[in-house]
Amino acid sequence: MSAFVGKYADELIKNAKYIATPGKGILAADESTGTIGKRLSSINVENMESNRQVLRELLFTSPNALSHLSGVILFEETLYQKTSDGKPFVEVLQENSVLPGIKVDKGTVDIAGTNGETTTQGFDSLGTRCQQYYKAGARFAKWRAVLKIGPNEPSELSIQQNAQGLARYAIICQESGLVPIVEPEVLTDGNHDIGKCAAVTETLLAAVYKALNDHHVLLEGTLLKPNMVAPGSDSPKVAPEVIAELTVRALRRTVPAAVPGIVFLSGGQSEEEATLNLNAMNKLEVLKPWTLSFSFGRALQQSTLKTWAGKKENVAAAQSAFLARCKANSDATLGKYAGGSADGLASESLYVKGYKY
Amino acid sequence: MSAFCGKYQDELIANAAYIGTPGKGILAADESTGTIGKRLASINVENVESNRQALRELLFCTPGALECLSGVILFEETLYQKTASGKPFVDVLKEGGVLPGIKVDKGTVELAGTNGETTTQGLDGLAQRCQQYYSAGARFAKWRAVLKIGPNEPSQLAINENANGLARYAIICQENGLVPIVEPEILVDGSHDIDRCADVTERVLAACYKALNDHHVLLEGTLLKPNMVTPGSDAKKVTPEVIAKYTVRALQRTTPAAVPAIVFLSGGQSEEEATLNLNAMNKLKGKKPWSLSFSFGRALQQSTLKTWAGKEENVKKAQSAFLSRCKANSEATLGTYKGDAAKGEGVSESLHVKDYKY
């Protein structure tokens, strides 16, 4: 057969389509314990479960913020956490029509014989884990594959390994009722120009969709989370319109129309950059058979984090900052963002060389 | 680089987009000498050059027909032929707003160790031949890859070989200014159901687009000529709406939006069946980022041929039949065909020939 149609097929299609609702997007709040530790230490907050719970409660209970979101990706710990008055986070999300998602990969490992290229692990008992997450209320999953641009990178081996890994993860998710977000991230690190990024992105996405087809993945029940096509971090910047044109061209050349939505990662972009680029894509007058939205982590939370600074008295202001970014990105999915929610914090680059999370 | 951008890039993109103009499609008149011989024999006409010329002149000079067409695929001999009054066919087409195309493959050969599966030859000297054809006025090309459905077919070998062949042909065409029509035909022969055809079509198309990407083909300067997704010739028929749904879904799952147009082959379908199926696809609601049109051979010419029967006194009537099919298919590309062309002689006659070789 071509596409596997199991007992969850209709639900997968419905949920994928819902996540791709114009005007909505995803908050990526799935930072692992180690990674969230870095965020908390940047605002001098101790990395304890209670602080991690407080931060996520701040985000999920921001008045009106959830109306701009169709999904939130969670780390496993957070899937089972509650608000301070005892309400499971999953219920907070569900009551506000936000689908809970779950990060299921177990990080990257180096591929021997390459120049620091990686593959992603997490297959062991993945089916069983997905079933447990489904029971706990998760309805979509995320798995991050990472590739880099260099003189000899990405290598054919790295492309094949990561594409195959994404496809195996995707079919296992679909067997267990979770919509797989397929995330093949090409890092921005480097001094390459935007043309190189475009070529690599197209080659990678072509390999990914061939692998998904080989593994019988039902495309209508998936989402794509790619990098935007942009110059390397050490290269001169270009206008959002250029990023939009090359990104959409790359997607038109590789992503089948059966995929309902594309939810971009923000990489090292500042909050404002990410929003302006997404907005430019949605204003572009060219045929786009999938919705273009966001799945932002840092680019939704950065100024919120700084405003909070771990202090209870800052919570309302921090929630205000969070709502502003949610609304800005919601507008960007409709091509209606007019700029201006960018105070100093929102324009801060979030680029970290060799980013591991 | 991902896509090769040579000196013909803009022209390829413009020509591919033009061929996909809504309301227009392609006449596949590229029957090789052997194949056209079979057609002529079926109406008791001798297979000599003058008769081959007379038939093509009948078609290309049908008043009003060229308006329904954006391209005509020619066999090499025809590319250099003229009308009876000495005007090159290529000029007739160009003046009628129709791009001349050229069949460049050299037929199929069997793959050893398979159960009668084939690959297509024609890569030797292809670049030089494309340059010559471009000089002669051709602006697009066609190469037919053939796969079949069976208990163990299509094999991975057949899929890989044919996909790779199509990709090599495509990039060579683009280097030389010809828009490549990519044709991975899955034969209708067999007793399989429509689901099986859908699965195979999706697998084959996924392999084709991976190969095209590997070979740096500029998708915006190509066209796809696939089979429609249907039950096998020995299986129960289904309605045009079902064929439309399965076909469009298969394309949504595999064919990138960068491809401007999809021009279906008619396989063994009758003239009327092919038109009704195309019409149903264009009426279907759903995401179709490419235009859906026709590249029909038999399904445009069958009743015309029968009406002509090789006789000069039948030419006008034959041209009338041809115009009628052209208009019907033009409407079908817009989803507005009402079925009123179904009265021609032979329009509902199946054109299926088992294990068709041409």
In whole angstroms, give the CA distance from residue A94 to residue B230. 42
**Contact between A254 and B256 using a beta-carbon 8 Å cutoff:** yes
Non-local CB neighbours of A312 within 8 Å, separated by 6+ positions: none
* A256 interaction partners in chain B (CB closer than 8 Å): 252-256
B2 and A255 within 8 Å at the Cβ level: the answer is no
Sign of CA dihedral A224, A225, A230, A233: negative
- What is residue B343's predicted lDDT score, i.e. its pLDDT? 62
- A198–B253 C-beta distance less than 8 A: no
Q: Which of A218, A231, A204, A194 is nearest to A13 (CA)?
A: A218
B192 CB neighbours in chain A (<8 A) are none
pLDDT at position A357 = 43
Give the pair of three-digit tokens for residue A42.
């940047």
For residues B101 and B133, give the distance between their C-alpha atoms in angstroms, rounded to a whole number: 9
Which of B201, B212, B213 should be substituted to probe chain A, the one whose Cβ sees the most A Cβ atoms within 10 Å? Answer: B213
Considering CB atoms only, which of B214, B252, B288 is closest to A256?
Answer: B252
Q: Which of A2, A204, A252 should one mutate to test binding to chain B, selecting the residue with the greatest count of B CBs within 10 A? A: A2
Nearest-by-CA chain B residue for A2: B199
CA distance A206 to chain B (A): 6
- How many Cβ contacts (< 8 angstroms) between chains A and B? 80
User: Exposure of B14 by Cβ count < 10 A (0-12 exposed, 13-18 middle, 19+ buried)?
Assistant: middle
> Rounded distance, CA B195 to CA B48, Å?
44
Distance separating alpha carbons of residues A300 and A13, to the nearest angstrom: 27
B172 by Cβ neighbours in 10 Å (0-12 / 13-18 / 19+) ranks as: buried
What pLDDT is recorded for position B356?
60
H-type alpha helices, chain A = 9-19, 33-41, 49-60, 76-79, 89-95, 126-135, 156-175, 194-214, 240-252, 271-283, 298-308, 315-333
Does the pLDDT value for residue A235 go beyond 50?
Answer: yes
> Which position among B225, B245, B306, B327 bears the catalytic label?
B225
Q: Report how far Cα B171 is from the mean position of its chain's Cα atoms.
A: 19
Which of B297, B289, B243 has its CA nearest to residue B267?
Answer: B297
Suggest the residue from B215, B253, B284 to mutate for an interface test with chain A (most A CBs closer than 10 A): B253
Contact B206 A257 (CB under 8 A): no
- In this complex, do A256 and B258 lie within 8 Å of one another by their Cβ atoms? no
Q: Calculate how close chain A gets to B30, using CA atoms only, in Å.
A: 30
Q: Are B163 and B211 in contact (CB under 8 A)?
A: yes
pLDDT by residue (tens digit) across A130-182? 999 999 999 999 999 999 999 999 999 999 999 999 999 999 999 999 999 99
Tell me, what's the pLDDT at B358?
43
Residues B325 and B322: their CA atoms lie apart, in Å, by: 5
Strands A291-296 and A25-29, how do they pair? parallel
Neighbours of B276 (CB within 10 A): 22
Give me the residue from A2, A207, A256 closest to B256, CB to CB. A256
CB A325 within 8 A of CB A295: no
- Is pLDDT of A21 > 50? yes
Predicted pLDDT at B193: 98
Q: What is the reported pLDDT for B78?
A: 97
Provide the phi-psi class of B122: left if phi over 0, else alpha when psi is between -120 and 50, else beta. Answer: left
Q: Calculate how close chain A gets to B245, using CA atoms only, in Å.
A: 13
Catalytic residues of A: 183, 225
* Pairwise pLDDT comparison (B251 vs A344), residue with the higher score: B251
pLDDT of residue B13: 98
Predicted pLDDT at B137: 98
Q: Give dist(CA B118, CA A90) in Å, integer.
A: 56
Q: Pick the closest to residue B55 from B76, B37, B34 (CA basis).
A: B37
Nearest to B17 by CA among B311, B173, B220: B220
pLDDT over threshold 60, residue A271 = yes
A258 contacts in chain B (CB < 8 Å) = 249, 252-253, 287
Paired with A292 in beta bridges are A262
Residue in B2, B199, B253 closest to A202 by CB: B2
Set of chain A residues whose Cβ sits within 8 Å of the Cβ of B214: 206
Contacts of A210 in chain B (CB under 8 A): 206-207, 209-210
- Report yes or no: B182 and B224 within 8 Å, Cβ to Cβ: yes
Q: Which residues of B touch A289 (CB under 8 A)?
A: 252, 257, 287, 289
pLDDT single digits (tens) A168-210: 999 999 999 999 999 999 999 999 999 999 999 999 999 999 9
What is chain B's pLDDT, residue by residue, as a tens digit (358 residues)? Answer: 688 889 999 999 999 999 999 999 999 999 999 999 999 999 999 999 999 999 999 999 999 999 999 999 999 999 999 999 999 999 999 999 999 999 999 999 999 999 999 999 999 999 999 999 999 999 999 999 999 999 999 999 999 999 999 999 999 999 999 999 999 999 999 999 999 999 999 999 999 999 999 999 999 999 999 999 999 999 999 999 999 999 999 999 999 999 999 999 999 899 999 999 999 999 999 999 999 999 999 999 999 999 999 999 999 999 999 999 999 999 999 999 998 776 666 677 787 877 665 4
Q: What is the pLDDT averaged over residues A310-338?
A: 97
- How far CA A68 is from CA of A15, A147, A293, A294, A333, in Å, comes to 16, 30, 11, 11, 10
Query: In this structure, what DSSP letter does residue B341 have?
Result: T
Each residue's pLDDT tens digit, A22-73: 999 999 999 999 999 999 999 999 999 999 999 999 999 999 999 999 999 9
Q: Would you list the DSSP string of B150-181?
A: BTTBS-HHHHHHHHHHHHHHHHHHHHTT-EEE
Q: How confident is the model at residue A346 (pLDDT cuts 50, 70, 90)?
A: confident
B320-355 per-position pLDDT tens digit: 999 999 999 999 999 999 987 766 666 777 878 776
